[in-house]
């Protein structure tokens, strides 16, 4: 019998990450969620359990290469080799560039971009060895179009497109696909943290006339990790209600 595939989803205590854990569990994958905070990890695991989802949760800071190395080793030892990596961990530290400090810049770059290097670097050799892998990088509409107040976030999210396309070229012959998903404004905690008045202005710029649902992103992930998508690599799926067509 074929071994169930193991999927690691980074940053899985946030809106999109938690939804991904739930959806992939329903699809029959062995799901490993991640958080840098043990308490949050446990709370998410328990909340999902109440909804009938049994997932593993591991602690690890994606911005710290050694922490990621320890986390991946423990997953491989206790659960199995990682077949699917969803680089989802991300934060915002919004401020006009003239008010942005070095800490806001570094923190966003270290988690949103270097975190993707750290996690991917730790799983790629094993994927190459086994001749199979699915890597999905969660970017953002704001990495495509730019956003007032987000020079740090937009730069990091734009960087993911270059990363995706270059790595896709390098690993295509090993049965590994690498793709990006660029969600628009989805009704997550991160977006709800934008002041209400600004949020209303944002929704007014979305032709579909509403924020996206996290499930709408999860469905795209299900497709991109399926065997049906094996001819799709180095690409980007925009899920933004028509806010930016690119």
Least distance to ligand CAA from the beta carbon of 205, Å?
Answer: 10
Cβ proximity to ligand CAA: between 21 and 141 the closer is 141
Cβ proximity to ligand CAA: between 99 and 102 the closer is 99
State the Cα–Cα distance between residues 45 and 90, nearest whole angstrom. Answer: 19
Interface ranges with ligand CAA (CB under 6 A): 92, 94-96, 99, 140-142, 147-150, 153, 185, 190-191, 194, 198
Taking CB atoms, the residue at the shortest distance from ligand CAA is: 149
Evaluate whether 172 touches 132 at the Cβ level (below 8 Å): no
Evaluate whether 19 touches 218 at the Cβ level (below 8 Å): yes
- As annotated, the active-site residues are 153
Cβ proximity to ligand CAA: between 147 and 235 the closer is 147
Least distance to ligand CAA from the beta carbon of 101, Å?
Answer: 13
Evaluate whether 126 touches 76 at the Cβ level (below 8 Å): yes
Cβ proximity to ligand CAA: between 122 and 140 the closer is 140
Task: Characterize the bridge pairing of strands 84-87 and 176-183.
Answer: unpaired
């Amino acid at each position: 019998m074929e071994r169930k595939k193991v999927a690691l989803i980074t940053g899985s205590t946030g809106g999109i990450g938690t939804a991904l854990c739930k959806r992939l569990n329903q699809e029959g994958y062995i799901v490993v969620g991640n958080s840098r905070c043990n308490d949050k990890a446990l709370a998410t695991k328990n909340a999902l359990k109440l909804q009938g989802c049994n997932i593993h949760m591991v602690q690890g800071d994606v911005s710290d290469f050694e922490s990621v190395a320890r986390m991946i080793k423990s997953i491989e030892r206790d659960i199995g080799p990682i077949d699917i990596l969803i680089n989802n961990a991300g934060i915002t530290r919004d401020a006009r560039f003239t008010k942005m400090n070095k800490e806001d810049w570094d923190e966003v770059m270290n988690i949103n971009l270097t975190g993707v290097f750290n996690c991917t670097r730790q799983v790629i050799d094993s994927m190459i060895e086994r001749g199979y892998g699915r890597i999905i990088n969660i970017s953002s509409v704001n990495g495509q179009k730019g956003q007032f107040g987000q020079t740090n976030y937009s730069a990091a999210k734009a960087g993911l497109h270059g990363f995706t396309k270059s790595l896709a070229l390098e690993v295509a012959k090993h049965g590994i696909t690498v793709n990006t998903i660029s969600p628009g404004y989805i009704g997550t905690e991160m977006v709800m943290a934008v002041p209400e008045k600004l949020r209303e202005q944002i929704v007014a710029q979305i032709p579909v006339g509403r924020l996206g649902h996290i499930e709408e992103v999860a469905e795209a992930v299900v497709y991109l990790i399926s065997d049906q998508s094996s001819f799709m690599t180095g690409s980007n799926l925009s899920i933004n209600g028509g806010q930016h067509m690119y």
